[in-house]
Structure 1
């Protein structure tokens, strides 16, 4: 009998330990799922807040009252939405170099302004020209045609057609991730303009267009000081700055959560006609994630 009672006691203790282990596993799983759910809710809420910034930008860009419209020169527009602090910047695509028509010498200067070494900047600008033109002749600056891509063991050659997306820049022979990220904010494929509009262009673009430091400082100061309702400032050549956008804009909406973490949505929008029934805009590009 004593032996049976001892064996029963050990069995009970073993079962108790097993049950305690199972409870701990279930508790840990529940805690993990709760944390994952909380993180997911915060992520979704932040993304929706950033999307709200895109919608506010679209409303402001299409406002009937010109004094209520945002100026599309990448200036920050800050406001609160629910528990989030939003910063929204709108850049008119007309203020960028169009990859399909821009002078490659200006593109090379732009890359030099951004810190790319001169020889490499010229080679990349030539690769842009060879990517978009239909011939098999190397650009004067030294680009890349099919044979050069083959020599680099790449499974494709020069496209010999216009760029359709900015991401195609990553396929250029000699392009790396760092240079791509430097260049993308200042180029577009949506305008077909031979020259950017200085009314909305950023400093590196204006430098590549040939503005000297004094003209650059004056233009940027005049743009920064101007608000809807004030007299329109003049460009260095004496012409008035444009105050009405082209209708195609890149919008960056950054939502900062109460804990300091951030979510950003960058989108390219085409406003007005052709955007679809009941829509203010047609999205041409859309990317969501944490800010770089």
Structure 2
């Protein structure tokens, strides 16, 4: 009889241990689901706030009063949307190096300024020359530069912020170029940034929620405020 009671007690203890393990697993799964749901909600809130920052900047650029236009100096404007704090900056694509219109040597110099070797610079020049002389279409995305010989990830990360496809200029407009790019390409120094950013701009909006969660959005736009009845801008590039 005592032996049967002992076996029954062991069985009960085993069942309790199994139930405890299952319950702990269930609690952990629920906790994980809650964390994922919270992250997704914060992600959505921050992205919507960052998009709102882009909208505010576009409205400023489309204002008929040029005084209200932002300077294309890349400096962040502190804004507020709901509970999110925004930092929105504007740069002009005319102040960047057009990878299809600029001389090959200019892009090679950019690689050197980003810490690349003379060998990498020569490889990139050769690859870009071959691309331009062949029958292949011009580069359609900034990311295609990463695939050229002589361009590694580090150099691409450094240079990509200063590259464009939409200026059509053989050299960046020194008044709109960043100080770093002016030094790298030996452009004329400019002490003041013009308020006229041109029709193609890049807006970067960083939204930070009260809990510290943040999201950055970078959008390149072609502004077209003159035509009535149509959307006043066109998105050329969207990066989250």
CA deviation digits over 1:186-241, x for unaligned, max 9?
A: 11111212222222111233235534xxx62xx23x33xxxxxxxxxxxxxxxxxx
Partner of 1:245: 197
CA RMSD of aligned residues (A): 2.7
**Residues in 2 aligned to 1:52 and 1:18: alpha-carbon distance in whole angstroms:** 51
The answer to whether structure 1 residue 30 and structure 2 residue 6 are counterparts is no
Give the drift of 1:60. Answer: 1.6
**Residues in 1 aligned to 2:84 and 2:227: alpha-carbon distance in whole angstroms:** 29
Partner of 1:257: 209
**Residues in 1 aligned to 2:172 and 2:203: alpha-carbon distance in whole angstroms:** 18
The answer to whether structure 1 residue 165 and structure 2 residue 117 are counterparts is no
The answer to whether structure 1 residue 197 and structure 2 residue 149 are counterparts is no
- Segments of structure 2 that go 5 or more residues without pairing to the other structure are none
SS class of match (2:74): strand
**Residues in 1 aligned to 2:227 and 2:5: alpha-carbon distance in whole angstroms:** 82
Give the drift of 1:177. Answer: 0.7
Kindly indicate whether the alpha-carbon contact (under 8 Å) linking 1:95 and 1:198 is maintained by their aligned counterparts in 2.
Answer: yes
Q: How has the CA–CA distance of structure 1 residues 76 and 23 changed in structure 2, closer, same or farther, with 3 Å as cutoff?
A: same
**Residues in 1 aligned to 2:75 and 2:162: alpha-carbon distance in whole angstroms:** 15
Kindly indicate whether the alpha-carbon contact (under 8 Å) linking 1:247 and 1:271 is maintained by their aligned counterparts in 2.
Answer: yes
- Segments of structure 1 that go 5 or more residues without pairing to the other structure are 135-158, 224-241
The answer to whether structure 1 residue 103 and structure 2 residue 79 are counterparts is no
Partner of 1:182: 158
Kindly indicate whether the alpha-carbon contact (under 8 Å) linking 1:72 and 1:90 is maintained by their aligned counterparts in 2.
Answer: yes
**Residues in 1 aligned to 2:72 and 2:33: alpha-carbon distance in whole angstroms:** 43
Give the drift of 1:92. Answer: 0.8
Kindly indicate whether the alpha-carbon contact (under 8 Å) linking 1:249 and 1:268 is maintained by their aligned counterparts in 2.
Answer: yes
Equivalences for residues 21-170 of structure 1 within 5 A: 21-134=21-134, 160-170=136-146
Kindly indicate whether the alpha-carbon contact (under 8 Å) linking 2:42 and 2:213 is maintained by their aligned counterparts in 1.
Answer: no
**Residues in 2 aligned to 1:10 and 1:171: alpha-carbon distance in whole angstroms:** 66
Kindly indicate whether the alpha-carbon contact (under 8 Å) linking 2:123 and 2:149 is maintained by their aligned counterparts in 1.
Answer: no
Partner of 1:284: 236
**Residues in 2 aligned to 1:22 and 1:125: alpha-carbon distance in whole angstroms:** 62
Give the drift of 1:160. Answer: 3.2
**Residues in 2 aligned to 1:259 and 1:8: alpha-carbon distance in whole angstroms:** 52
**Residues in 2 aligned to 1:210 and 1:19: alpha-carbon distance in whole angstroms:** 72
Give the drift of 1:275. Answer: 9.9
